[in-house]
Structure 1
């Protein structure tokens, strides 16, 4: 053994160079124990029913999550219709997770209007209280510090350490858990406290507007399941995806039937709504957002520069802004499309015309 190659580092047991039989002993790092969250034994593994009306009857609260987008809107209309038929509209609570400047302007107000026009009396707003871009920068700083620490422990140059992505992605949707799921659970706690007198776990039916047609991952989701992570000994949360099997046409038909206004971003050409810039959004949505909300696009680009990583894999916000500016230069500022453009593309002009006329007659609103 070459004794001149022996060395000592923190965490290593030094060999004695004078001993020809000396062996450098590198202790194996102790595996980190994964903390297993204990689920209360009262929480069921499977739902007692998957029948919509039975789900509503069995629930103490029916909590409808509303982003203000078309899927949330169609789901709200459908759930309210069934709850009204059962005489249980008083159970329905609409909750909107306010994402601050990251979401389209007027989204919170629209979600509240949609709930009110559907006849729901209780509308709740929750928020993480942290700006999305601030969260990205904080996350990057923590990931960078960890990568450098790990590199040092391996005896490597920390300046060359590879830092994990700070932006959310399809495989790391921390934005959903931090900006939506977590804050909404605080509402579950308040609703549970309001029914503490029942003397049993409060049954909450959480309605989410996810559809199988949106992605292969969402196609794998169950229409009804127990949310064991959000459940405990005081509350049992059943997740229901009422429109999971619906296609775009059925979503728009439900909106037309409801007479409730939808967000104008769809008429501008957007396929998704809530965040102006979503990593899961198509490129045309992102460019559309940069044209409509250039100041937010510039803020995203500044964050990219600070953390040295593109907003979306293979597509930076700088490039999105460049494409938006190119369109503005070629076409000029885009004129707002006629109201009802998005709906007409899916259900036809005749149904759309009736929808708009009923909005004016009933609410004095223009679609």
Structure 2
């Protein structure tokens, strides 16, 4: 629990620290070209939702605790229940540690339980995100210096690539989510080894085309050849890929499942408190709500010599948050359903809020 306030923290200028010494460069072993097992199909045999669920041995629903994965969970559960196949469903949450909003893992588990899914799994990379950024910086710095020496240049003048993730280098997704979730695939595959054939896993992801041009290009159903092998075949299904934001909120209202309070505070996205893909409003909101974490990001900026987000440093985000705190006072949470009301109307949001109090005893 974060107890510090923005005004308890030192001024951003006091966060300066000595640069981290770069590790000596080590020659990288040559990677062997990865081959995909011959049994892995090139394309899915069907894109019909009910057929996908029937064909799967496991239906794995990735849940960040955010609105999109929550709406997806509700939708997939509804279809699986109609087919009498709830027993196939597994909800997995990739725990991001202090980088994600407090209570997110618990909320994802609550949503799964209330939706009727009996199996909930938590996976983690085991490495703190900010530690990973610093480790990555050390490797990039060592590489840049080694290459400068090979060119006969001064290594101290070598340009080091940014260590933070970006839209073009989303290593955080592969390292913090995709990789750990694949360890779950391995366990699920071992549980059905007696089948004597590749285990069929249907991986459900809550990505929507409306979120970005890049996600709009993704297929609704495709074979995940990187996660597949001779023991398991993984099919990626994006059940709400074509959904609008309004449809997502309507599904949440219909499901009666609680959503994260960060949305009522004004956030558009949820998972990491500070995401490089998040809008500026979300980032400033995070700095107001979790000031201690914002300060930690600012210290890491100094260590790696690069802004958290291109064109917007965490130091600047903190300054904006401090200005709002001074002008408006400590931020208070609006009533439950505030975010929902913008998309489905106040009357529907009021019904939802009343159900939260009645069904789950949650504060209004």
Determine if the TM-score, normalized by the shorter chain, exceeds 0.5.
yes
Q: How far, CA to CA, are the matches of 1:267 and 1:244 in structure 2?
A: 24
SS at match of 2:159: coil
Q: Which one of 217, 222, 226 corresponds to residue 225 of structure 1?
A: 222
The 5-angstrom pairing of residues 156-171 of structure 1 reads: 156-171=153-168
**Hey, what does 2:255 align to over in structure 1?**
258
Alpha-carbon shift at residue 359 of structure 1 (Å): 2.6
Q: How far, CA to CA, are the matches of 1:259 and 1:313 in structure 2?
A: 39
**Hey, what does 2:330 align to over in structure 1?**
333
SS at match of 1:286: helix
Q: Which one of 292, 295, 298 corresponds to residue 301 of structure 1?
A: 298
Number of residues of Structure 1 aligned to a counterpart in Structure 2:
336
The 5-angstrom pairing of residues 78-117 of structure 1 reads: 78-117=75-114
**Hey, what does 1:361 align to over in structure 2?**
358
Alpha-carbon shift at residue 354 of structure 1 (Å): 1.5
Alpha-carbon shift at residue 36 of structure 1 (Å): 2.0
Deviations 1:167-217, CA, capped at 9 Å, x for gaps: 000000000000000000000000000000000000000000000000000
Q: How far, CA to CA, are the matches of 1:334 and 1:177 in structure 2?
A: 34
Q: How far, CA to CA, are the matches of 2:245 and 2:311 in structure 1?
A: 28
Asked if 1:311 is matched to 2:308, the reply is yes
Q: Using CA pairs below 8 Å that are at least 6 residues apart, which structure has the higher relative contact order? A: 2
**Hey, what does 1:212 align to over in structure 2?**
209
Q: How far, CA to CA, are the matches of 2:356 and 2:327 in structure 1?
A: 36
Deviations 1:46-104, CA, capped at 9 Å, x for gaps: 00100000000000000000000000000000000000000000000000000000000
Asked if 1:242 is matched to 2:228, the reply is no
Deviations 1:195-242, CA, capped at 9 Å, x for gaps: 000000000000000000000000000000000000000000000000
Q: Which one of 13, 38, 59 corresponds to residue 62 of structure 1?
A: 59
**Hey, what does 2:346 align to over in structure 1?**
349
Q: How far, CA to CA, are the matches of 2:254 and 2:107 in structure 1?
A: 18
The 5-angstrom pairing of residues 46-57 of structure 1 reads: 46-57=43-54
**Hey, what does 1:127 align to over in structure 2?**
124
* TM-score for both structures, normalised by structure 2: 0.91
Q: How far, CA to CA, are the matches of 1:330 and 1:365 in structure 2?
A: 30
Alpha-carbon shift at residue 133 of structure 1 (Å): 0.2
Asked if 1:275 is matched to 2:272, the reply is yes
Q: Which one of 141, 145, 149 corresponds to residue 152 of structure 1?
A: 149
Alpha-carbon shift at residue 358 of structure 1 (Å): 2.4
Deviations 1:245-300, CA, capped at 9 Å, x for gaps: 00110000000000000000000000000000000000000000000000000000
SS at match of 1:75: helix
Show structure 1 runs of 4+ deviating over 3 A.
32-35
Asked if 1:201 is matched to 2:203, the reply is no
Q: How far, CA to CA, are the matches of 1:48 and 1:34 in structure 2?
A: 32
**Hey, what does 1:17 align to over in structure 2?**
none
Residue segments in structure 2 that go unaligned for 5+ positions in a row: 1-28
Q: How far, CA to CA, are the matches of 1:126 and 1:282 in structure 2?
A: 27
* TM-score for both structures, normalised by structure 1: 0.90
Q: How far, CA to CA, are the matches of 1:303 and 1:33 in structure 2?
A: 31
SS at match of 2:34: coil
RMSD of the alignment, in Å? 1.1
Alpha-carbon shift at residue 364 of structure 1 (Å): 2.7
Alpha-carbon shift at residue 357 of structure 1 (Å): 2.2
Structure number with larger C-alpha Rg: 1
SS at match of 1:93: strand
Alpha-carbon shift at residue 355 of structure 1 (Å): 1.4
Q: How far, CA to CA, are the matches of 1:191 and 1:91 in structure 2?
A: 11
Residue segments in structure 1 that go unaligned for 5+ positions in a row: 1-31
Which moves more between the two structures, 336-345 or 192-201? Answer: 336-345
Q: How far, CA to CA, are the matches of 1:68 and 1:189 in structure 2?
A: 23
